Structure 1
C-alpha cells in the first residue's frame, strides 16, 4: 500500500493580498517557513522515498525543508502546479476581485464546477491531479512519498481519488502547511488516513 502525504506549501509573503496564482517570485513568509519546518518535524522518521513538488517557488521551498529532514530528494513536476481557476485575476488584490467581480467570485467559492471561462476548469484540474498522483503512486509501490502542491489542486486530487464531489472544493480546505495522507493501492477510492494542521494535534 502506497502512502501519499499531500502537503500544501507554507504561507506566502503577501501582505497586499495579491492573487498570485502561477506568477513567479512568490516565496514563503517567516510563518510559512515555520509551517514547512513543522510539517517536516511531524513527518519525522517516516521512510519518505521522495518529495515531489510543484515547480513554483513557494512549493519548492516547502519541499526542500521536508526533503532535508527526511534525507530524500526533491523532484519538481509541472502537473503539480497551481490551479488556473483564478487565472483571470492574477496580479489583482483579492479585495479588488471581491468588489469588481462579485458574481464570479461567488461562483468560484460556492459553485466551482460552473467556473468555465478559464484555461483549466475544475474537472480538468481534478483529472490532472488524479493522473499525477496515480503516476507517483505507481512509481513507489508500498512506499511513502510526499507531494507538495497548492490548495485547490490538492483538494481536487483528494476528491478525485476518494470519489468525492468536486463541487465541494472549498469545504474542509487544506490550510497552508496542512497535510492530508492517502493510502492508495492503484484501485479507487483511495482512503484518507490522516489530516494534520500546524499547531494542532
Structure 2
C-alpha cells in the first residue's frame, strides 16, 4: 500500500463513524448531499461529545478535530467542537467511498436485475466502487498529516478525532491489523458513532482499539444502506 504512518513520536487518531441518518426511503446515499442526522443521530452526536469531554476532564484532551465534508459527518462533529471549543478541519480524504449503486433504494432487490450484474464480478477490489486499497491509502494519509500537525502543535501523545464513514474506517482497521481488505459487509465492527482508535508510534500504527460509547442507543437504530 502506498500510504503508511511512521514517525518518532506517538499519537492517537480516533476514527468516529457518524450518527444515524434520516433515510426513510432506505436509499444507498453514499456521497449524495442532503442526508443529515435523524433525531436519534443527533442524540448519538451529543453522546460522543460527552464521551470525549469526559476524557478531556480526566486528562486525555483532544487536540484536533476533523470531519468528512458530508452533512452527516459535519452534524456529528458539531456538538463535540462546541463542547471542546475547537475548530473543525474539513478533510476530503476521509469522505465516504465511491459506489456505483449510489442513489438506489432497496439495493438487495435491485441487484436481482441483470443490468447490475457486471458490477459484481470482483468483490475483492470491489468492482462496484472505489478500491479498498485506495480507501485505506487516503484515510492513512489523512491520519498521518493530522496526527503530525497535532504533535507539532501539542507535543508527543496528541489526540485527534476524525468523523468519517463505516467502510473507509473498516478497511483502514483491516489494513492496520494486517488482515485482507475484502470482507463480508455484515461482519464489519463499526457501529454508528463507534470509535476505532489508531495508536501510532515509531513503527507506524502499532495497535487498534474499538469502543461503542453509545452502545445503549444502538438498539433503537435502523440498519440503513450507504452509511
TM-score (norm 1): 0.86
Check conservation: 2:176, 2:208, Cα contact below 8 A: no
Q: How many residues align?
A: 192
Answer yes or no: is 1:188 the counterpart of 2:188. Answer: no
2:170 aligns with one of 149, 155, 178: 155
Instruction: Please state which structure has a larger fraction of its residues in helix.
Output: 1
Query: Partner residue of 2:154?
Result: none
Query: Partner residue of 1:91?
Result: 103
CA deviation profile, 1:63-93 (whole Å, cap 9, x unmatched): 1111111222111011011111xx2211111
Gaps of 5+ in 2: 1-9, 152-156, 217-227
Gaps of 5+ in 1: none
Query: Partner residue of 1:51?
Result: 65
Change over 3 Å in CA distance of 1:73–1:112 after alignment to 2: farther
Question: Radius of gyration: which is bigger?
Answer: 2
Q: Which has the higher contact order (CA 8 A, sep 6+)?
A: 2
Q: Secondary structure at the match of 1:190?
A: strand
Query: Partner residue of 2:137?
Result: 127
- Runs of 4+ residues over 3 Å off in structure 1: 102-105
Query: Partner residue of 2:38?
Result: 29
CA deviation profile, 1:155-177 (whole Å, cap 9, x unmatched): 12222233232123633331111
Query: Partner residue of 1:139?
Result: 149
Deviation at 1:100, TM superposition (A): 2.7
Query: Partner residue of 2:83?
Result: 69
Where in structure 2 are the equivalents of 1:15-26 lying within 5 Å?
15-26=24-35
Change over 3 Å in CA distance of 1:181–1:146 after alignment to 2: same
Deviation at 1:112, TM superposition (A): 4.0
- Name the CA distance, whole Å, in 1 between partners of 2:64 and 2:14: 11
